[in-house]
Amino acid sequence: MTEVTVIGAGVIGLSAALMAQARGLSVTVIDREGPAAGASTGNAGAFAFTDILPLASPGILRKAPKWLLDPLGPLTIPPAYALQITPWLYRFWRACSPRAVAASTAAQTSMMELSRAELEPFLAATGTLGMLMKYGNLQVYETEAEFRAALPGWEARTEHGIEFRHMTAEEMAELQPGLSPRFTRGTFTPGWWSIADPKDYVLALAERFQAEGGTILRAEVTGLKPQDSGVSIQTKSAPLSADKVVLAAGAFSHRIAATLGERIPLETERGYNTTLPADALDLRCQVTFGGHGFVVSRLTTGVRVGGAVELGGLSLPPNYKRSEAMLRKAKTFFPTLKTEGGKQWMGFRPSLPDSLPAIGRSKASPHVVYAFGHGHLGLTQSAGTARLVADLLTDARPPLNLTPFSPQRF
């Protein structure tokens, strides 16, 4: 039986491990901290299938200068990391051309369609369907000008068949009571789903994987080496080997890919949040404050307030003033929000400059499959990615064109 080792027990690694297992492969997962240690633990819990427009777009270039002026605002570059992030920013800027945006929107749409189609069967097969919630997302706007500026993006979604409804303040008050009247317009997307709690979900996947005979090892992988008929895996403890390896180590994946001689421009968009007790707010759906770069999410385990992007790399200490700044704003946007008893968190979104993940075989070895770089959308695209990884591992024909996701595209 083919022995597969998956590096990374986040939502991508474990989903891929479960799908590979379902194809009859013998699968081991390695994580230096155990399951649900990384970005997959504390995210906003959204299956944002309607989010087909790449972050790299002319719109972000318009907003960025204003955002960058606020040191605790939606987008920051700590001075200590400004030089290191420059090459990635240059690639990001190049990905904002209308042609590049059209190409990545088409690719992202195909990935979203696949991910949505794969999700419910995957949840059913892994006994986690009860964690799926379908209450939609309300994107809110403070001014008519902000709403109008968002309309081309909504038109682009219409072209891709995405359902949404623009709303007046009165309609929003009915859908989500308690929202400040400063928000005069909104757009509701019913096709935006959520998970009850992202950490509980990943832990449930880990449990299922082990119950089906899978092994989870705790070890830090330091490198990979192609062998004639497999891959040797160096770790901080004993070396291991496998017939095939899936690299799904989130924002740290490029370090392991580098040991195979591949330079992949993976950076991290650090994100922050605060999780409040579940009775902090009577939240009916997820609410997105796009102009302020954060969301308020309804989980069964709490109300999560967060988002923001800090291009600060993997080593700088977290700056939880960002979590506090978003919570303060959330209190003015939802005046009845109870802000006591919150837990702060920072996570490393694994991000490639064109807002698309890297899914495909390594150039150094056909036995190594890359599955990382999902940025803001790792949970959303986890089932779709798992399907593609399982196809690559079993030499089956993938249901979509993988060229836009090639790890070698940069």
How far CA 50 is from CA of 36, 46, 115, 183, 304, in Å, comes to 25, 11, 11, 22, 20
67 versus 171: smaller Cβ distance to ligand FAD: 67
- In the list 4, 10, 118, 360, the residue contacting ligand FAD (rule: CB under 6 A) is 10
Least spacing, CB of residue 169 vs ligand FAD, in Å: 26
Least spacing, CB of residue 159 vs ligand FAD, in Å: 23
108 touches ligand FAD by CB under 6 A: no
Please report the sign of the dihedral spanned by the C-alpha atoms of residue 87, residue 374, residue 158, residue 285.
negative
User: Distance between CA atoms of 410 and 393, rounded to whole angstroms?
Assistant: 23
Least spacing, CB of residue 149 vs ligand FAD, in Å: 23
48 touches ligand FAD by CB under 6 A: yes
The pair of three-digit structure tokens given for residue 249, joined into one six-digit string: 């180590």
User: Distance between CA atoms of 384 and 122, rounded to whole angstroms?
Assistant: 10
206 touches ligand FAD by CB under 6 A: no
252 versus 334: smaller Cβ distance to ligand FAD: 252
46 versus 56: smaller Cβ distance to ligand FAD: 46
User: Distance between CA atoms of 200 and 20, rounded to whole angstroms?
Assistant: 21
Least spacing, CB of residue 240 vs ligand FAD, in Å: 11
For residue 327, the SS3 value is: helix
Interaction residues for ligand FAD, span 287-326 (CB under 6 A): 306-307
- In the list 116, 199, 298, 376, the residue contacting ligand FAD (rule: CB under 6 A) is 376
11 touches ligand FAD by CB under 6 A: yes
The pair of three-digit structure tokens given for residue 45, joined into one six-digit string: 């819990």
Least spacing, CB of residue 340 vs ligand FAD, in Å: 21
Q: Choose the stretch contacting ligand FAD; rule: CB under 6 A; options: 71-79, 112-120, 145-153, 368-376.
A: 368-376
At position 297, the amino acid (one-letter code) is: S
Rg (CA), the chain: 21
The residue among 264, 266, 236 whose CA lies nearest residue 251 is 266
Cβ atoms of 4 and 25 within 8 Å: the answer is: yes
Q: Choose the stretch contacting ligand FAD; rule: CB under 6 A; options: 45-53, 103-111, 165-173, 180-188.
A: 45-53
Q: Choose the stretch contacting ligand FAD; rule: CB under 6 A; options: 90-98, 138-146, 245-253, 315-323.
A: 245-253
Bridge partner residues of 348 (DSSP): 270
The residue among 147, 212, 214, 148 whose CA lies nearest residue 186 is 147
User: Distance between CA atoms of 221 and 252, rounded to whole angstroms?
Assistant: 10
45 versus 302: smaller Cβ distance to ligand FAD: 45
Q: Centre a 10 Å sphere on the Cβ of residue 81 and count the other Cβ atoms it contains.
A: 20
Least spacing, CB of residue 145 vs ligand FAD, in Å: 27
Contacts of 207 by beta carbon, 8 Å cutoff, 6+ apart: none
List alpha helices for 140-191, DSSP H. Answer: 144-159, 169-175
Contacts of 47 by beta carbon, 8 Å cutoff, 6+ apart: 115, 116, 119, 132, 192, 193, 194, 195, 379, 380
214 versus 306: smaller Cβ distance to ligand FAD: 306
144 touches ligand FAD by CB under 6 A: no
- In the list 18, 25, 27, 30, the residue contacting ligand FAD (rule: CB under 6 A) is 30
- In the list 347, 353, 384, 407, the residue contacting ligand FAD (rule: CB under 6 A) is 347
Cβ atoms of 80 and 374 within 8 Å: the answer is: no
39 versus 167: smaller Cβ distance to ligand FAD: 39
Q: Choose the stretch contacting ligand FAD; rule: CB under 6 A; options: 31-39, 103-111, 139-147, 238-246.
A: 31-39
Stretch 248-277: interaction string toward ligand FAD, x if CB under 6 A: xxxxx---x--------------x-x----
How much helix, strand and coil, in percent to the nearest 5, is found in the chain? Answer: 40, 25, 35
Residues binding ligand FAD: what is the number (CB under 6 A)?
A: 43
User: Distance between CA atoms of 358 and 248, rounded to whole angstroms?
Assistant: 10
Residue ranges binding ligand FAD (CB under 6 A)? 7-13, 30-33, 37-40, 43-46, 48, 220-221, 248-252, 256, 271, 273, 306-307, 347, 349-350, 372, 374-380
